[in-house]
Amino acid sequence: MPDSNNSNLIEMHGLTRVYQLGPQEIHALQGIDLIVKHGEYVAIMGPSGSGKSTLMNIIGCLDRPTEGKYILDGIPVETMEDDQLAAVRNKKIGFVFQTFNLLPRTTALQNVELPLVYAKMPRAERHAQAQEALVAVGLGDRMSHQPNELSGGQRQRVAIARALVNKPSLLLADEPTGNLDSQTGREILDLFHDLHSRGNSIIMVTHEDDVAREAKRIIHIRDGKVLD
Protein backbone atom coordinates (compact mmCIF):
# COMPACT_ATOMS: atom_id res chain seq x y z
CA MET A 1 0.00 0.00 0.00
CA PRO A 2 1.24 3.56 -0.65
CA ASP A 3 2.87 5.06 2.37
CA SER A 4 1.12 8.21 3.54
CA ASN A 5 4.39 9.52 4.98
CA ASN A 6 4.64 13.09 3.73
CA SER A 7 8.46 12.92 3.59
CA ASN A 8 7.97 11.00 0.33
CA LEU A 9 7.99 13.23 -2.73
CA ILE A 10 7.54 10.37 -5.19
CA GLU A 11 5.98 6.95 -4.66
CA MET A 12 5.65 4.42 -7.47
CA HIS A 13 4.10 1.02 -6.92
CA GLY A 14 4.00 -1.68 -9.62
CA LEU A 15 4.30 0.89 -12.40
CA THR A 16 4.16 -0.43 -15.98
CA ARG A 17 4.10 1.32 -19.35
CA VAL A 18 3.18 -0.62 -22.48
CA TYR A 19 3.25 0.93 -25.96
CA GLN A 20 1.34 -0.56 -28.86
CA LEU A 21 3.51 -0.55 -31.99
CA GLY A 22 1.27 -2.04 -34.66
CA PRO A 23 0.67 -5.67 -33.62
CA GLN A 24 3.63 -5.53 -31.24
CA GLU A 25 3.57 -4.59 -27.55
CA ILE A 26 6.62 -2.74 -26.20
CA HIS A 27 6.97 -3.15 -22.42
CA ALA A 28 8.94 0.03 -21.65
CA LEU A 29 8.48 -0.20 -17.85
CA GLN A 30 7.86 -3.46 -16.02
CA GLY A 31 6.71 -3.14 -12.43
CA ILE A 32 8.70 -0.17 -11.14
CA ASP A 33 8.70 0.37 -7.36
CA LEU A 34 10.39 3.61 -6.38
CA ILE A 35 10.40 6.07 -3.49
CA VAL A 36 12.15 9.46 -3.57
CA LYS A 37 12.04 11.59 -0.45
CA HIS A 38 11.74 15.38 -0.27
CA GLY A 39 15.16 17.03 -0.54
CA GLU A 40 16.87 14.07 -2.24
CA TYR A 41 19.30 14.42 -5.15
CA VAL A 42 18.89 11.31 -7.31
CA ALA A 43 20.37 10.27 -10.65
CA ILE A 44 18.58 7.81 -12.94
CA MET A 45 20.98 5.89 -15.18
CA GLY A 46 20.47 3.35 -17.89
CA PRO A 47 21.56 2.47 -21.42
CA SER A 48 19.56 3.55 -24.48
CA GLY A 49 16.27 1.66 -24.55
CA SER A 50 16.36 0.89 -20.82
CA GLY A 51 13.14 2.78 -20.10
CA LYS A 52 14.75 5.77 -18.37
CA SER A 53 13.18 8.31 -20.75
CA THR A 54 9.76 6.71 -20.29
CA LEU A 55 10.25 6.81 -16.52
CA MET A 56 11.28 10.47 -16.71
CA ASN A 57 8.19 11.32 -18.79
CA ILE A 58 5.94 9.67 -16.20
CA ILE A 59 7.73 11.35 -13.27
CA GLY A 60 7.32 14.66 -15.12
CA CYS A 61 3.58 14.05 -15.77
CA LEU A 62 4.22 14.18 -19.54
CA ASP A 63 2.91 10.61 -19.85
CA ARG A 64 0.86 8.28 -17.66
CA PRO A 65 1.45 4.66 -16.70
CA THR A 66 -0.48 1.74 -18.19
CA GLU A 67 -0.85 0.21 -14.73
CA GLY A 68 0.31 0.88 -11.19
CA LYS A 69 0.32 3.84 -8.83
CA TYR A 70 2.22 7.12 -9.03
CA ILE A 71 1.88 9.57 -6.14
CA LEU A 72 3.64 12.93 -6.54
CA ASP A 73 3.86 15.09 -3.43
CA GLY A 74 0.78 13.38 -1.97
CA ILE A 75 -1.27 13.60 -5.20
CA PRO A 76 -2.21 10.38 -7.05
CA VAL A 77 -1.55 11.43 -10.65
CA GLU A 78 -1.83 8.13 -12.57
CA THR A 79 -5.57 8.59 -13.26
CA MET A 80 -5.55 12.31 -14.08
CA GLU A 81 -6.87 13.84 -17.30
CA ASP A 82 -4.48 15.78 -19.56
CA ASP A 83 -5.51 19.24 -18.28
CA GLN A 84 -5.10 18.11 -14.65
CA LEU A 85 -1.65 16.69 -15.47
CA ALA A 86 -0.69 20.00 -17.11
CA ALA A 87 -1.70 21.89 -13.96
CA VAL A 88 0.35 19.55 -11.74
CA ARG A 89 3.32 19.89 -14.12
CA ASN A 90 3.21 23.68 -14.00
CA LYS A 91 2.90 23.82 -10.21
CA LYS A 92 5.03 20.92 -8.99
CA ILE A 93 7.81 20.31 -11.54
CA GLY A 94 10.62 22.40 -13.01
CA PHE A 95 12.15 20.93 -16.18
CA VAL A 96 15.75 21.37 -17.35
CA PHE A 97 16.52 19.99 -20.82
CA GLN A 98 19.76 19.27 -22.65
CA THR A 99 18.79 21.74 -25.41
CA PHE A 100 17.81 24.64 -23.06
CA ASN A 101 14.47 25.23 -24.94
CA LEU A 102 14.64 29.02 -24.59
CA LEU A 103 12.59 31.43 -26.72
CA PRO A 104 15.14 33.09 -29.03
CA ARG A 105 13.91 36.69 -29.36
CA THR A 106 13.06 37.32 -25.72
CA THR A 107 15.26 38.34 -22.80
CA ALA A 108 16.51 36.04 -20.06
CA LEU A 109 13.99 37.66 -17.72
CA GLN A 110 11.06 37.08 -20.11
CA ASN A 111 12.11 33.45 -20.61
CA VAL A 112 12.15 32.88 -16.86
CA GLU A 113 8.78 34.63 -16.42
CA LEU A 114 7.04 32.28 -18.86
CA PRO A 115 5.75 29.63 -16.35
CA LEU A 116 4.37 32.47 -14.21
CA VAL A 117 2.50 33.87 -17.22
CA TYR A 118 0.83 30.45 -17.60
CA ALA A 119 0.09 30.51 -13.87
CA LYS A 120 -1.63 33.91 -14.38
CA MET A 121 0.54 35.65 -11.78
CA PRO A 122 0.24 39.47 -11.68
CA ARG A 123 2.97 41.25 -13.66
CA ALA A 124 4.88 42.97 -10.83
CA GLU A 125 4.97 39.81 -8.72
CA ARG A 126 6.01 37.76 -11.76
CA HIS A 127 8.82 40.22 -12.49
CA ALA A 128 10.17 40.09 -8.93
CA GLN A 129 10.05 36.28 -8.73
CA ALA A 130 11.84 35.88 -12.08
CA GLN A 131 14.56 38.34 -11.02
CA GLU A 132 15.03 36.41 -7.79
CA ALA A 133 15.43 33.13 -9.73
CA LEU A 134 18.04 34.66 -12.06
CA VAL A 135 20.01 36.04 -9.12
CA ALA A 136 19.89 32.56 -7.52
CA VAL A 137 21.67 31.05 -10.56
CA GLY A 138 24.25 33.86 -10.76
CA LEU A 139 22.75 35.81 -13.68
CA GLY A 140 21.62 38.98 -11.93
CA ASP A 141 23.63 41.04 -14.45
CA ARG A 142 22.31 39.27 -17.59
CA MET A 143 18.54 39.71 -17.21
CA SER A 144 18.05 41.85 -20.33
CA HIS A 145 20.26 39.68 -22.58
CA GLN A 146 18.71 37.48 -25.27
CA PRO A 147 19.83 33.82 -25.62
CA ASN A 148 22.11 34.58 -28.61
CA GLU A 149 24.01 37.04 -26.38
CA LEU A 150 24.69 34.35 -23.76
CA SER A 151 27.15 31.46 -23.60
CA GLY A 152 25.92 27.85 -23.48
CA GLY A 153 26.44 27.70 -19.74
CA GLN A 154 24.56 30.97 -19.22
CA ARG A 155 21.68 29.69 -21.36
CA GLN A 156 21.46 26.56 -19.23
CA ARG A 157 21.44 28.78 -16.11
CA VAL A 158 18.50 30.71 -17.58
CA ALA A 159 16.75 27.37 -18.19
CA ILE A 160 17.43 26.35 -14.57
CA ALA A 161 16.11 29.71 -13.30
CA ARG A 162 12.96 29.16 -15.38
CA ALA A 163 12.60 25.66 -13.89
CA LEU A 164 12.94 27.09 -10.36
CA VAL A 165 10.77 30.19 -10.73
CA ASN A 166 7.53 28.45 -9.71
CA LYS A 167 9.25 27.12 -6.56
CA PRO A 168 8.38 23.57 -7.69
CA SER A 169 8.48 20.46 -5.50
CA LEU A 170 10.87 18.78 -7.96
CA LEU A 171 13.61 19.84 -10.36
CA LEU A 172 13.74 17.28 -13.19
CA ALA A 173 16.86 17.48 -15.37
CA ASP A 174 17.38 15.49 -18.57
CA GLU A 175 21.09 15.24 -19.53
CA PRO A 176 21.57 18.85 -18.30
CA THR A 177 25.28 18.96 -19.23
CA GLY A 178 24.92 17.05 -22.53
CA ASN A 179 25.45 20.08 -24.81
CA LEU A 180 28.15 21.77 -22.72
CA ASP A 181 31.95 21.54 -22.66
CA SER A 182 33.44 19.89 -19.59
CA GLN A 183 34.29 23.09 -17.70
CA THR A 184 30.84 24.62 -18.27
CA GLY A 185 29.25 21.28 -17.38
CA ARG A 186 31.21 21.33 -14.12
CA GLU A 187 29.80 24.80 -13.32
CA ILE A 188 26.22 23.58 -13.92
CA LEU A 189 26.79 20.52 -11.69
CA ASP A 190 28.18 22.83 -8.98
CA LEU A 191 25.01 24.90 -9.32
CA PHE A 192 22.88 21.75 -8.83
CA HIS A 193 24.89 21.00 -5.67
CA ASP A 194 24.19 24.50 -4.42
CA LEU A 195 20.47 24.19 -5.19
CA HIS A 196 20.33 20.81 -3.44
CA SER A 197 22.06 22.25 -0.37
CA ARG A 198 19.30 24.92 -0.29
CA GLY A 199 16.69 22.16 -0.02
CA ASN A 200 15.67 21.54 -3.65
CA SER A 201 14.69 17.99 -4.64
CA ILE A 202 16.49 17.02 -7.85
CA ILE A 203 16.16 14.05 -10.21
CA MET A 204 18.71 13.95 -13.01
CA VAL A 205 18.54 11.55 -15.94
CA THR A 206 21.94 10.80 -17.45
CA HIS A 207 23.96 8.08 -19.16
CA GLU A 208 27.29 9.48 -17.93
CA ASP A 209 28.84 7.82 -14.86
CA ASP A 210 30.75 10.90 -13.68
CA VAL A 211 27.61 13.07 -13.90
CA ALA A 212 25.51 10.47 -12.05
CA ARG A 213 28.10 10.30 -9.26
CA GLU A 214 27.33 13.95 -8.44
CA ALA A 215 23.96 12.82 -7.05
CA LYS A 216 23.53 11.39 -3.54
CA ARG A 217 21.81 8.24 -4.86
CA ILE A 218 21.95 6.47 -8.23
CA ILE A 219 19.06 4.39 -9.54
CA HIS A 220 20.06 2.00 -12.32
CA ILE A 221 17.36 0.97 -14.75
CA ARG A 222 17.60 -1.75 -17.41
CA ASP A 223 14.94 -3.46 -19.54
CA GLY A 224 12.24 -1.42 -17.82
CA LYS A 225 13.15 -2.56 -14.30
CA VAL A 226 14.99 -0.93 -11.40
CA LEU A 227 18.20 -2.90 -10.80
CA ASP A 228 19.27 -1.18 -7.57
| CA dist list (Å): 135 to 97, 128, 174, 179 | 20, 11, 23, 23
Over residues 164-191, the pLDDT tens digits come to 998 999 999 999 888 889 999 999 999 9
* Ordered DSSP codes for 75-141: EE-TT--HHHHHHHHHHHEEEE-TT----TTS-HHHHHHHHHHHTT--HHHHHHHHHHHHHHTT-TT
Global confidence as pTM: 0.89
Q: What kind of architecture, by CATH, is found in domain 39-64+82-226?
A: 3-Layer(aba) Sandwich (3.40)
Over residues 14-40, the pLDDT tens digits come to 999 999 988 999 999 999 999 999 999
